[in-house]
């Protein structure tokens, strides 16, 4: 996995990775009844586990998911089958030949890493596709002929592929086509079966984990034991190879096999009798416990790092590591929860509480996505939530949902389902287009470029992961603990649950997520007393929900996020739940700096965004939706397959020149579905006007450049939005990644101006865009039709081309009269010494004012001493108010003069003072032991230091004594 720090590109996935099982919690686990242990601070892990009703036993019939499930089966899965047929099946064919001892080729594509096929974890794409196909077969077709036809195709294709997988398994159970068929990497190194289990930063155990999950799902869907048998043989090989010494004490670089082994353990218990599968979950626990331990005993030499969560024992973790790969982290945490469900390990539970708390409250985005940065696909720092470069891999959202489902299963608290629901409707569903044939890998929350989803990826972990999840979505709705029946999600559906001696048929009718009116028919075969627990979503913060049984209000007290209805249920009973769906304005935690002055909109479980497409193709990044604007919602059946939109008015345009306009917001999952891709899009929209830069002659100039990246904005450089710092891209930036060397930007003014200074505020993302190595200014000389360098103000002056971050770098120069000014910029290097590209947030040009004079400034100097006392520290405090129309750098100079009026000591300080602002400048020095006839003089010039000053005085001299 390439961990190299990169770039400012945000479009689609370049790295890696992975997945999730949604039908597995359905397994009937022994509830561990009547035990009660305290987990973490607030939670009690008591009286067994909540078991979800498997999707096979849930028939979905609604206005939202039914059509998505059908699209998944009719469009997405066949599309995925075509793709893996090209990219992965040939590897299994070659591996099969190798296992049989026949002449064979290598696996395809690895030498072309990144060019379309060939990743070290390519086998897992097939396994996830087979899992999706298995789930699709097991789903109730409800008589839909198109679905029935596809199910038949999937059965036939699975039959063919199962034989290929069986044939690719080595005699001792090993399964990885990469090593069986052999491969060459892109450095020309060759690997064969002899090299297996030598590189644990690669993905052998990850692929094996996905295979085991696939085998479990396939057995549960079809009852066919062929893949299960392959999985047992493989898991036995792992169990014989890895474990406490004298076995090998390695850990997988990419967690995944842990949860898979737990699911295999549960299935084996069901098939062969209780306890027969124990060795598999115990191996999972070994892999988890071994992380961060005994590293020098690992024979492979693989030592993981924070990226692989392999620095310290997992039970020592106090938070989700910032540098951890998001999917690896969420898979590991899920595996820990799965093990804890079996052995009730208190040490796992208390650490899971901390990990969950940190992940949810400091790292998760409003869409349920995790992993803020493409650099290492990592979780990133707490509260560091960039929007334009948010990575939020689709797999990471899926994994976060799965982790929360397992936590709900342990604790029975609805807050975990709140996150599961959030991921499903937002961070996950955005991963596929409405048509079902294009996918996302990374998911920004703000963009200003047209970026289509992709029809596949060279690193194709996300699409099949999404497919297997949608195919088994029904497994997230109902659950049971003893006699308690849980309704966790509101999706129109039917199921039958055994409670006591009764079979209870539940039929749910709703138009969720568009409205919150839900009806549940509860029909037991015989009247029975049992609790029905309805989850009240965490987004329903106002407490205005109502719950009725047969028209009568019932107690709506919340316990762990559920309303419990305890009664003797009889056939025909009806529960009605009303969840008012008001439009909510979400404010980010105040520690999330980039969302300051911004708001997100949510209605029910759906997070909204503004997209240029529904807003006359205007750049919605500039919209300001003020706090008091009235918002309305409206269902639009013809828009984006039917969505409820949010409407209101926004301020649009440039700061200080806003026009009121209507806006339309759509659910985030639905963005980027119009022919040419989404134009601009923003989730966290400004609700406060951004800090405003006073206009200069640049504000009306026409900008041009040698190159601007397609996702950046040349017009950002004079949009008059004040940056917070050099990383602030919230109001767009100019960038020229991945051009190196010299590039330029240019202003063409509306007429000739006389100019004498210019201010530039550099952009850097610390990756592909760095502070420049140098720059200069040239003006267009109309007389000779050539570009000429600007010149120093006078013979004492040097041009100052600053490259400092987080401030305006001001350059003053000898006045010129021109119609065009050009800024040449040479790219800087990153920390590794590699030349990168450059970027600008604002570039201002100041018209020369001949009276850069005392009259434009209010200057006041005072001293800490009333006389020159020998040996004392003299401190001169000067305040300067800039009454000019533009930013000016000023220099306060404190000089010590002897009796001959010769300067013998000097101290100075410079500050940049915005138009209208006041700054304080303190400077001074220690006085000599004899100060007879000495004087101290304070005066203020233009400029940033003595060498750059044009020596234009802007104050009268103040003298002591």
Distance from C-alpha of 804 to C-alpha of 588, rounded to nearest angstrom: 30
Q: Which is nearer to Zn ion, 328 or 341 (CB)?
A: 328
Which range of residues in 385-393, 400-408, 498-506, 546-554 is near Zn ion by CB under 5 A? 385-393
Strand partners, 447: 681
Minimum CB–partner distance for residue 686 and Zn ion (Å): 31
Q: What is the 3-state secondary structure (H, E, C) of 226-278?
A: HHHHHHHHHHHHHHHHECCCCCECCCCCCCCHHHHHHHHHHHHHHHHCCCCCH
CB of 253 to Zn ion, least distance (A): 16
Residue 470 vs 868, nearer CB to Zn ion: 470
Contacts of 83 (CB under 8 A, 6+ apart): 125, 456, 460, 463
> Taking a C-beta distance cutoff of 8 angstroms, is the pair 501, 473 a contact?
no
Cβ of residue 23: shortest distance to Zn ion, in angstroms?
A: 19
Nearest distance in Å: CB 679, Zn ion: 25
Q: How far is the CB of 75 from Zn ion (least distance, A)?
A: 20
From the list 9-17, 66-74, 708-716, 914-922, the region that binds Zn ion by CB under 5 A is 9-17
C-beta closer to Zn ion: residue 462 or 769: 462
Nearer to Zn ion by Cβ, of 459 and 579: the residue is 459
Least Å distance, CB 425 to Zn ion, is 19
CB nearer to Zn ion: give 314 or 398: 398
Minimum CB–partner distance for residue 464 and Zn ion (Å): 9
Q: Which stretch binds Zn ion (CB under 5 A): 142-150, 395-403, 486-494, 858-866?
A: 395-403
Out of 17, 22, 539, 908, the residue judged to bind Zn ion by CB under 5 A? 17
Q: Which is nearer to Zn ion, 602 or 672 (by Cβ)?
A: 672
- Binding region for Zn ion (CB under 5 A) out of 188-196, 292-300, 386-394, 718-726: 386-394
Distance from the first to the final alpha carbon of the chain: 70
* 219 versus 441: smaller Cβ distance to Zn ion: 441
Of the candidate residues 20, 261, 317, 395, the single one contacting Zn ion (CB under 5 A):
395
Per-residue string for binding with Zn ion, 441-470, x by CB under 5 A?
--------------------xx--------
Q: With binding defined as CB under 5 A, does residue 934 bind Zn ion?
A: no
Q: Helix, strand, coil proportions of the chain in percent (round to 5)?
A: 30, 30, 45
Instruction: Name the residue nearer to Zn ion (CB basis): 17 or 64.
Output: 17
For the window 245-284, what string marks contact with Zn ion as x by the rule CB under 5 A? ----------------------------------------
Contact (CB, 8 A) for 488 and 532: no
Angle, helices 257-272 vs 278-289, to 10°: value is: 160
Q: Is 609 in the site for Zn ion (CB under 5 A)?
A: no
Q: Which are the contacts of 927, defined by CB distance < 8 A and separation ≥ 6?
A: 868, 869, 870, 871, 872, 873, 874, 896, 934
Decide if 255 contacts 335 (C-beta within 8 A): yes
Q: Which is nearest to 52 in space by CA: 373, 405, 402? A: 405
Q: Indicate the residue among 454 and 706 with the shorter CB distance to Zn ion.
A: 454
Looking at beta carbons, which residue is closest to Zn ion? 395
| Rounded Cα–Cα distance for residues 514 and 759 (Å) | 50
Among the listed residues 220, 228, 20, the one whose alpha carbon sits nearest the alpha carbon of residue 124: 20
What is the contact mask toward Zn ion in residues 404 to 443, using x (rule: CB under 5 A)? ----------------------------------------
In angstroms, the CA 609 to CA 664 distance is 9
CB nearer to Zn ion: pick between 378 and 600? 378
Element (H, E) at 920: strand 918-926
Residue 448: CB partners within 8 Å, gap ≥ 6?
Answer: 388, 619, 621, 680, 711, 713, 732
Beta strands at 528-535 and 484-487: parallel, antiparallel or unpaired: parallel
Distance CA(43)–CA(707), nearest Å, equals 56
Tokens (6 digits) for 408: 């709900």
Minimum gap (Å) between residue 392 Cβ and Zn ion: 11
**Which one, 426 or 680, has the nearer CB to Zn ion?**
426
Q: Which is nearer to Zn ion, 258 or 393 (CB)?
A: 393
Which residues here bind Zn ion, judged by CB under 5 A? 17, 393, 395, 461-462
């Amino acid at each position: 996995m390439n961990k190299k720090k990169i770039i400012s590109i945000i479009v689609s996935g370049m790295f890696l990775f992975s997945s999730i099982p949604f039908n597995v919690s359905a397994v009937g686990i022994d509830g561990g009844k009547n035990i009660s242990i305290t987990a973490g601070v607030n939670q009690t892990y008591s009286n067994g586990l909540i078991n979800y009703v498997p999707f096979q036993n849930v028939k979905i019939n609604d206005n939202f998911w039914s059509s998505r499930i059908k699209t998944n089966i009719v469009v997405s899965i066949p599309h995925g089958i075509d793709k893996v047929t090209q990219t992965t099946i040939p590897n299994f064919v070659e591996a099969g030949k190798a296992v049989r001892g026949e002449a064979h080729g290598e696996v395809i594509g690895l030498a072309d890493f990144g060019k379309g096929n060939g990743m070290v974890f390519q086998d897992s794409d097939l396994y996830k596709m087979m899992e999706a196909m298995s789930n699709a077969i097991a789903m109730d077709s409800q008589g839909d002929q198109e679905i029935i036809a596809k199910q038949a195709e999937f059965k036939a294709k699975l039959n063919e592929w199962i034989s290929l997988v069986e044939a690719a398994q080595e005699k001792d159970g090993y399964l990885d086509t990469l090593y069986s068929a052999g491969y060459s990497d892109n450095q020309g190194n060759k690997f064969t079966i002899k090299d297996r289990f030598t590189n644990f930063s690669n993905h052998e155990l990850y692929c094996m984990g996905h295979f085991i999950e696939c085998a479990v799902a396939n057995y549960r869907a079809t009852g066919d034991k062929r893949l299960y048998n392959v999985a047992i043989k493989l898991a036995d090989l792992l169990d014989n190879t890895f474990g406490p010494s004298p076995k090998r004490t390695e850990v997988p670089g990419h967690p995944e096999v842990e949860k898979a082994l737990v699911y295999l353990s549960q299935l084996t218990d069901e098939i062969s009798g209780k306890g027969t599968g124990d060795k598999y979950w115990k191996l999972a626990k070994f892999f988890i416990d071994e992380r961060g331990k005994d590293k020098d005993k690992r024979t492979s030499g693989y030592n993981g790092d924070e990226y692989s969560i392999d620095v310290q024992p997992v039970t020592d973790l106090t938070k989700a590591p910032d540098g951890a790969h998001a999917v690896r982290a969420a898979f590991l945490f899920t595996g820990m929860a799965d093990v804890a469900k079996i052995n009730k390990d208190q040490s796992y539970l208390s650490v899971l509480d901390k990990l969950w708390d940190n992940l949810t409250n400091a790292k998760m985005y409003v869409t349920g996505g995790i992993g803020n940065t493409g650099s290492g696909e990592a979780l990133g720092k707490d509260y560091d939530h960039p929007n334009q470069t948010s990575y939020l891999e689709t797999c990471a959202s899926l994994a976060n949902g799965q982790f929360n489902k397992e936590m709900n299963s342990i604790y029975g608290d609805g807050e975990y389902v709140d996150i599961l629901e959030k991921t499903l409707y937002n961070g996950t569903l955005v991963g596929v287009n409405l048509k079902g044939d294009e996918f996302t890998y990374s998911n920004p929350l703000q963009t200003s470029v047209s970026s289509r989803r992709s029809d596949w990826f060279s690193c194709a972990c996300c699409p099949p992961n999404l497919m297997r999840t949608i195919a088994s979505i029904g497994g997230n709705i109902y659950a049971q603990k003893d006699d308690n029946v849980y309704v966790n999600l509101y999706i129109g559906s039917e199921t039958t649950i055994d409670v006591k001696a009764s079979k209870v048929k539940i039929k749910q009718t709703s138009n969720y997520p568009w409205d919150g009116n839900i009806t549940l028919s509860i029909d037991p075969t015989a009247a029975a007393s049992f609790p029905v627990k309805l989850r009240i979503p965490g987004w329903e913060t106002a407490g205005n929900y109502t719950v009725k049984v047969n028209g009568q209000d019932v107690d709506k007290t919340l316990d762990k996020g559920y309303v419990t209805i305890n009664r003797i249920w009889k056939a025909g009973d009806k529960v009605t739940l009303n969840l008012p769906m008001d439009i909510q304005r979400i404010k980010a935690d105040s520690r999330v700096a980039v969302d300051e002055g911004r708001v997100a909109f949510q209605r029910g479980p759906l997070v909204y965004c503004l997209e240029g497409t529904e807003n006359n193709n205007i750049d919605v990044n500039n919209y300001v939706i003020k706090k008091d604007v009235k918002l309305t919602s409206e269902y639009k059946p013809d828009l984006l397959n039917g969505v409820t939109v949010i409407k209101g008015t926004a301020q649009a345009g440039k700061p200080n020149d806003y026009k009121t306009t209507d806006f339309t917001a759509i659910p985030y999952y639905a963005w980027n579905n119009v022919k040419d891709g989404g134009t601009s899009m923003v989730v966290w929209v400004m609700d406060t006007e951004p800090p405003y830069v006073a206009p200069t002659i640049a504000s009306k100039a026409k900008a041009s450049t040698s190159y601007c990246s397609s996702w950046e904005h040349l017009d950002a450089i004079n949009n008059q939005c004040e940056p917070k710092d050099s990383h602030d891209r919230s109001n767009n930036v100019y960038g020229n990644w991945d051009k190196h060397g010299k590039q330029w930007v240019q202003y063409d003014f509306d007429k000739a101006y006389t100019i004498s200074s210019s201010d530039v505020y550099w952009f850097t993302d610390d990756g592909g865009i760095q502070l420049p190595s140098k720059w200069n200014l040239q003006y267009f000389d109309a007389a000779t039709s050539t570009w000429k360098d600007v010149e120093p103000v006078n013979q004492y002056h040097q041009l100052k081309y600053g490259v400092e971050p987080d401030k305006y770098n001001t350059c003053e120069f000898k006045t010129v009269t021109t119609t065009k000014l050009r800024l040449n910029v040479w790219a800087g290097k990153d920390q590794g010494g590699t030349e990168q590209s450059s970027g600008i947030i604002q570039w201002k040009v100041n018209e020369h004012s001949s009276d850069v004079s005392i009259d434009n400034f209010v200057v006041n100097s005072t001293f800490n001493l009333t006389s020159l006392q020998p040996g004392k520290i003299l401190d001169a405090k000067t305040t300067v108010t800039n009454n000019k129309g533009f930013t000016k750098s000023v220099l306060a100079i404190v000089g010590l003069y002897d009796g001959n009026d010769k300067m013998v000591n000097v101290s100075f300080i410079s500050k940049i003072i915005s138009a209208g602002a006041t700054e304080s400048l303190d400077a001074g020095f220690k006085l000599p032991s004899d100060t007879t006839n000495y004087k101290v003089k304070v005066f203020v010039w233009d400029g940033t230091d003595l060498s750059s000053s044009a020596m234009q005085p802007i104050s009268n001299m103040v003298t002591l004594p």
